[in-house]
């Protein structure tokens, strides 16, 4: 469903991503791992239009989407979170989700300005979507809390909930487990698995190897901007190049 071919991005003399090609299959959890600075976030930025590649192509299904603006990519059904928080700090949790849910509205602006019936019922739909997602993520009791007042872990969970509320087919999550306590990690990974079971696709950047190995169908490993290895969790966990790359950073 998402496919990149020879994707390359340079920052001055540094090649942050060097001719990387791989594919994310539909209804899978795909892990993107690699030591710090290996190009994972740069990949996310290129795939979602936040950065332009120097070379290479991004395909969404049969369609080439290289260089499209972020809002255009998100309308195609690709949602992402960021390493830090991804929310409107001054809105309540519920309003954050309502805003995200409106992202998929088809009703024209004029229709909405005239307060015609279907726009009103769409607003009710957004409210219902927001409430359902809040419950699903175990934060329904916080619906009317201002996002900025949440602890860091809950803000991360909210970021994933917001991304889901946009109605994507692919969810790209940048270190969703960072800052979560062990119980929150288990809860979020359970939710991600249930999202996959509904046919959505997930691409995760994550440093928590235990979670990655347990949840992923397939893993791509980057190192210094190049694709080091790709395979099932079992294959990756015994891949000599991957083991060396990780031991190398731990030893440093
Ligand atoms: N806007 C930028 N300008 C200059 N260099 C950048 C920029 N963005 C990333 N880099 C560099 O590109 C390389 C890859 O960075 P990137 O953030 O993609 O790595 P990462 O694998 O996501 O790392 P981490 O796990 O630490 O988040 C790093 O050397 C980084 O310093």
Cβ of 185 closer than 6 Å to ligand 1, yes or no, is no
Minimum CA distance residue for ligand 1 atom 17: 41
User: For 73-95, how does the pLDDT look when each residue is reduced to its tens digit (9 = 90+)?
Assistant: 988 999 998 877 678 888 999 99
User: Which residue in 191, 88, 83 sits closest to 149, CA to CA?
Assistant: 88
Centre of ligand 1 from the C-alpha of residue 32, in Å = 14
Helix intervals (H) in the chain: 40-47, 70-75, 93-102, 109-113, 117-136, 152-165, 182-197, 209-215, 233-237, 240-251
Q: Are 96 and 143 in contact, with CB atoms under 8 Å apart? A: no
Same domain, 140 and 172: no
On whether both 172 and 162 belong to a single domain, the answer is: no
**Residue bearing the bigger pLDDT, 82 or 160:** 160
Q: In whole numbers, what is the pLDDT of the chain averaged over residues?
A: 89
- Using one digit for the tens of pLDDT, what is the confidence trace for 39-54? 999 999 999 999 999 9
Q: Does residue 220 belong to any structural domain of this protein?
A: yes
> Are residue 26 and residue 68 in the same domain, yes or no?
yes
* Domain of 43, in residue numbers: 1-77+168-252
Q: In this structure, which residue's CA is closest to atom 1 in ligand 1?
A: 11
Same domain for 2 and 46? yes
162 shares its domain with 194: no
Q: Are residue 173 and residue 59 in the same domain, yes or no?
A: yes
109 vs 163, more confident: 163
Residue 63 has pLDDT above 90, yes or no: yes
Q: Whose CA is nearest to atom 5 of ligand 1?
A: 11
Q: Say how many CA atoms lie within 13 Å of 27 toward its Cβ.
A: 3
- Among 107, 138, 166, the domain-final residue is 166
Same domain as 158, residue 133 = yes
**Residue 83: inside a domain:** no
State the helix-helix crossing angle for 152-165 and 182-197, rounded to 10 degrees.
10
Q: What phi and psi values does residue 116 have, to the nearest 5 degrees?
A: -70, 160
Mutate to test the pocket of ligand 1, among 8, 39, 82, 250 (most ligand atoms within 8 A of CB): 39
Does the ipTM exceed 0.90? yes
Task: Check residue 117 and give its pLDDT.
Answer: 60
Can you tell me whether residue 154 is helix, strand or coil? Answer: helix
What is the distance between the alpha carbons of residues 175 and 186, in angstroms, rounded to a whole number? 14
pLDDT at 252: 42
Residue 13 and residue 44 in one domain: yes
Using a 6 Å cutoff on CB, does residue 40 contact ligand 1? yes
Please say if the pLDDT value at position 7 is more than 90: yes
Give Cα 222 distance to the centre of its chain.
Answer: 17
Shared domain check, 136 and 31: no
What's the number of domains the chain is made of?
2
| 88 vs 143, higher pLDDT | 143
What is the best residue among 8, 11, 34, 48 to mutate for testing ligand 1's pocket, by most ligand atoms within 8 Å of CB? 11
Residue matched to tokens 């009791």: 141
């Amino acid at each position: 469903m998402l496919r990149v071919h020879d994707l390359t991005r340079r920052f001055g003399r540094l090649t942050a991503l060097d001719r990387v090609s791989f594919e994310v299959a539909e209804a899978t959890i795909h892990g993107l791992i690699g030591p710090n600075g290996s190009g994972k976030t740069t990949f996310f930025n290129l795939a979602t239009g936040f950065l332009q590649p120097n070379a290479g192509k991004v395909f969404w299904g049969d369609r080439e989407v290289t260089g499209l603006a972020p809002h255009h990519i998100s309308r195609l059904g690709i949602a992402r979170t960021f390493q830090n928080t991804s929310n409107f700090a001054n809105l309540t949790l519920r309003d954050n989700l309502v805003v995200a849910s409106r992202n998929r509205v088809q009703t024209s602006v004029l229709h909405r300005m005239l307060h015609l019936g279907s726009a009103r019922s769409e607003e009710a739909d957004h409210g219902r979507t927001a409430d359902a997602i809040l419950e699903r993520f175990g934060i329904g009791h916080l619906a009317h809390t201002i996002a900025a007042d949440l602890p860091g872990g809950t803000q991360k969970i909210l970021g994933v909930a917001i991304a889901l509320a946009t109605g994507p087919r692919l969810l790209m999550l940048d270190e969703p487990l960072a800052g979560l306590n062990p119980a929150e990690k288990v809860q979020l990974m359970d939710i991600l698995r249930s999202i996959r079971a509904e046919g959505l696709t997930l691409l995760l950047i994550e440093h928590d190897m235990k979670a990655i190995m347990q949840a992923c169908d397939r893993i791509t490993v980057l190192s210094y901007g190049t694709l080091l290895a790709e395979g099932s969790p079992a294959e990756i966990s015994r891949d000599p190049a991957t083991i060396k790359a990780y031991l190398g950073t731990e030893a440093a």
